[in-house]
Chain A
Amino acid sequence: MAKKIRVLVAKPGLDGHDRGAKVVANALRDAGMEVIYTGLHQTPEMIAEAAVQEDVDVVGLSILSGAHLTMFPRIIELLKKQEAEHIKVFGGGIIPAEDVEKLESMGVAKVFGPGTDTRDIIKYLKQEFE
């Protein structure tokens, strides 16, 4: 059996705009991945713990509230603390270009901006994790 890509899709922070997260979750499922969706209003602790228990290959975060510079590094740090730094983190949302660079320097694997084709996300994940 081919390796299944397991992805945790989560919405950290307080904003409730889950349209993007759900569309991506559906698209990844349709592309043959196992998607664990954790729902809204997640703390970094909840997300990291879920990612570890589920042993996912990668965590996809969707943030539209502007809290990305706080949330992403916190989750990466928590994964490391749990000896799960092999779990990669990618994300999307309303994230200005200069913050994308900052996030990447903090260890975020990839940031997808608004208007991203879900096929690009799928392609990226298959390339990296299959």
Chain B
Amino acid sequence: MKEEKDRQYSKAKEKFLETFEGCSAQDIDFTTVSAEPVEPLYTPDDAEDLDYTRDLGFPGQYPFTRGVYPTMYRGRFWTMRQFSGFGTPRDTNERYHFLLDHGQTGLSVAFDMPTIMGYDSDHLRSLGEVGKCGVAIDSLRDMEILFDGIDLSKITTSMTINAPASILLAFYLCTGDKKGIGFDEMGGTIQNDILKEYIAQKSWIFPPEPSMRIITDILAFCSDHVPKWNTISISGYHIREAGSTAVQELAFTLADGFAYVEAGIAAGLDVDSFAPRLSHFFNAHLDFFEEIAKYRAARRIWAKRMKHKYGAKDPRSLLLRFHTQTAGCTLTAQQPENNIVRTAFQALSAVLGGTQSLHTNSMDETLALPSEKAVRIALRTQQLIAEETGVINTIDPLAGSYFIEAKTREMEEKAEDYFRRIDELGGVVKAIEKGFFQKEIGRAAYEYQKAVEKRRKTIVGVNKFQLEKEEIEIPLLKIDEQVEIDQRNAVRNVREERDNDKVSRELERLKVAAAGNDNLMPLILECARCYCTEGEIIGVLKEIFGEYEEPPFF
């Protein structure tokens, strides 16, 4: 009986292949956006040795390929978390109230470049950058204004901050603390992923070694005092935005994640004391199925390694929970309304891939910071997926697809290849120093650009279906130059009004601790509490830790 079936199958497949070969195909590049080849058809042969229990498991069960929770979106939707921040803390505070009023369920803070790089708003290097691509935060005072009227025990907040993450976390915790909310009642995320800064995003301050020390200090402090905080959001988003392929995003992100786990263990922490609070952050790029396979492969790789290589016992340590953002680099300045559609497809892939939270880009982001209308449409896109499309009804609906399963496995294997190469180079930090990641990503970015220019890859509205004369018809958000002036004055006022003797004492204590081995978090909290500015705290740490300089790589 089975033999007969097999025979029929082979015959039919043969016939298909024959006919297929006989027909002419369009002259199109049929690879993924990452230039990975794709077969025209996937069949049971491609999923032949798939072992359901071993490779997929049930949702909420090892190896979590199908999802980290048993109920997934039947239990609750992903968190709709629009990344936002601009101008003064007061400006952004108003935007947060607007977003919460429109049904957003979590906050996500975008900081301006001076804050990200550890400069106060009145520093010379901040000139022209204050409040431009995020909100300017100089001290606890600004954080208090940012969350004015928002109950930090009810909402979770994600902060996209890396090199100075410990300081912004301290500002946040003090803000809650002053309102009587305990550290253990506050939940949220700091990105705190310095490795990907060296690799892709390039917003570093200190060299790798002291940076890793600050991170392990945060891990230790939070596991004792801020148990609901996600201490590192291990990020592939920026790696992808810098031009990597999907496999590189997957492999480099997870390699970073494992490097943090190893650093935590090396610092004497029990893996299960901090691993449950690690989360991930991926990009949702153009290639629909490749993206879905990427998320599924990520969950499986993480669970396997955490269990077998790092000996995690707590099942929560095995869960790869992740936030997703649609790909900013795929948005076009030309015919910007098309970005709404692009973003919708990308968001859908993240949802089908089982994301825990999602940011959808606004259509105008290649032109400026998003306007209210644009950001509302972006949020509505998520709400549409959740409430209208029905995709949330069933968990991991694409599992068992020959294509998806084959692709998931292929990505896992290619990621493993990268892990081997990174190991051979001596680990993630060594590979960074050798420029391995930077060169791999740079090459991929240049190849893609060439493919676009040769029209092997299409960007609608840019290299195909262009408009002759295009008028941009969407309103843009502009940052008033007054923001910089106001913010400069604000930070100067803070410095005048506070207890400056206490400030110098606390900064000195921090400096001593930085030169030694004590956990820095309690000292940074003390500095925050007496209104030391971010730049002052960073300044003290720079004296001890020095500054990172990137080796040149192409």
A contacts B directly in the complex (CB < 8 Å)? yes
User: B52 contacts the other chain (Cβ, under 8 Å)?
Assistant: no
| Contact A22/B554 with A16-B203, A94-B366 known, Cβ cut-off 8 Å | yes
- Are B243 and A19 closer than 8 Å at their CB atoms? yes
| Contact A118/B449 with A18-B202, A113-B333 known, Cβ cut-off 8 Å | yes
- With A19-B241, A22-B442, A22-B554 known, 9 other A-B pairs at CB within 8 A are A13-B128, A14-B116, A14-B117, A26-B442, A39-B552, A113-B333, A114-B331, A114-B366, A118-B453
- Are A15 and B446 closer than 8 Å at their CB atoms? no
A 47-73 binary contact with B (CB < 8 Å = 1; else 0): 000000000000000001111011100
Q: Which residues 22-39 of A have a CB within 8 angstroms of B? A: 22-23, 25-27, 37, 39
CA distance A115 to B311 in the complex (A): 47
Interface footprint category on A:
20 to 34
- Are A117 and B453 closer than 8 Å at their CB atoms? yes
Of all chain A residues, the one with the shortest Cβ separation from B364 is A96
Of all chain A residues, the one with the shortest Cβ separation from B471 is A97
User: B398 contacts the other chain (Cβ, under 8 Å)?
Assistant: no
B 185-227 binary contact with A (CB < 8 Å = 1; else 0): 0000000000001000111100000000000000000000000
Give every chain A residue within 8 A of B367 (Cβ-Cβ).
Answer: 94, 96-97
- Are B125 and A14 closer than 8 Å at their CB atoms? yes
CA distance A72 to B360 in the complex (A): 31
CA distance A27 to B333 in the complex (A): 21
CA distance A22 to B138 in the complex (A): 32
- Are B332 and A23 closer than 8 Å at their CB atoms? no
- Are A97 and B472 closer than 8 Å at their CB atoms? yes
Of all chain B residues, the one with the shortest Cβ separation from A29 is B554
- Are B125 and A43 closer than 8 Å at their CB atoms? yes
CB distance from A31 to the nearest CB of B (A): 12
Which of B126, B132, B442, B462 is A66 in contact with, Cβ under 8 Å? B132
Give every chain B residue within 8 A of A23 (Cβ-Cβ).
Answer: 243, 445-446, 449
User: A40 contacts the other chain (Cβ, under 8 Å)?
Assistant: yes
- Are B129 and A65 closer than 8 Å at their CB atoms? yes
Instruction: Show the binding face of B for A, using Cβ within 8 Å.
Output: 113-114, 116-117, 119, 125-129, 132-133, 197, 201-204, 241-243, 329, 331-334, 366-369, 442, 445-446, 449, 453, 459, 462-463, 472, 476, 478-479, 550, 552, 554
CB distance from A110 to the nearest CB of B (A): 16
- Are A13 and B129 closer than 8 Å at their CB atoms? yes
Of all chain B residues, the one with the shortest Cβ separation from A120 is B453
CA distance A117 to B449 in the complex (A): 8
Instruction: Show the binding face of A for B, using Cβ within 8 Å.
Output: 13-19, 22-23, 25-27, 37, 39-41, 43, 64-67, 69-71, 94, 96-97, 113-115, 117-119
Give every chain B residue within 8 A of A14 (Cβ-Cβ).
Answer: 113-114, 116-117, 119, 125-126, 129, 203
- Are A19 and B453 closer than 8 Å at their CB atoms? no
Of all chain A residues, the one with the shortest Cβ separation from B128 is A70
Give every chain B residue within 8 A of A22 (Cβ-Cβ).
Answer: 442, 445-446, 554
Which of A27, A37, A115 is B332 in contact with, Cβ under 8 Å? A115
- Are A27 and B449 closer than 8 Å at their CB atoms? yes
Give every chain B residue within 8 A of A117 (Cβ-Cβ).
Answer: 453, 463
Which of A17, A19, A67 is B128 in contact with, Cβ under 8 Å? A67
CB distance from A116 to the nearest CB of B (A): 9
Sample (21) of A-B pairs whose CB atoms are under 8 Å apart: A13-B128, A14-B114, A14-B117, A14-B119, A15-B113, A17-B241, A17-B242, A37-B554, A39-B552, A40-B202, A40-B550, A41-B117, A66-B133, A66-B369, A71-B128, A94-B366, A96-B367, A96-B368, A97-B472, A115-B333, A115-B366
CA distance A67 to B119 in the complex (A): 15
Interface centre among B114, B128, B241 (most CB of A within 10 A): B128
Of all chain A residues, the one with the shortest Cβ separation from B113 is A14
Give every chain A residue within 8 A of B203 (Cβ-Cβ).
Answer: 14-16
- Are B127 and A70 closer than 8 Å at their CB atoms? yes
CA distance A77 to B459 in the complex (A): 38
CB distance from B32 to the nearest CB of A (A): 19
Interface centre among B241, B366, B552 (most CB of A within 10 A): B366
CB distance from A103 to the nearest CB of B (A): 13
- Are B202 and A16 closer than 8 Å at their CB atoms? yes
| Contact A67/B445 with A39-B550, A115-B333, A117-B463 known, Cβ cut-off 8 Å | no
CA distance A66 to B365 in the complex (A): 12
Give every chain B residue within 8 A of A114 (Cβ-Cβ).
Answer: 331-333, 366
- Are A13 and B332 closer than 8 Å at their CB atoms? no
- Are A19 and B463 closer than 8 Å at their CB atoms? no
Give every chain A residue within 8 A of B331 (Cβ-Cβ).
Answer: 114
Give every chain B residue within 8 A of A96 (Cβ-Cβ).
Answer: 367-368, 476, 478
Of all chain A residues, the one with the shortest Cβ separation from B459 is A115
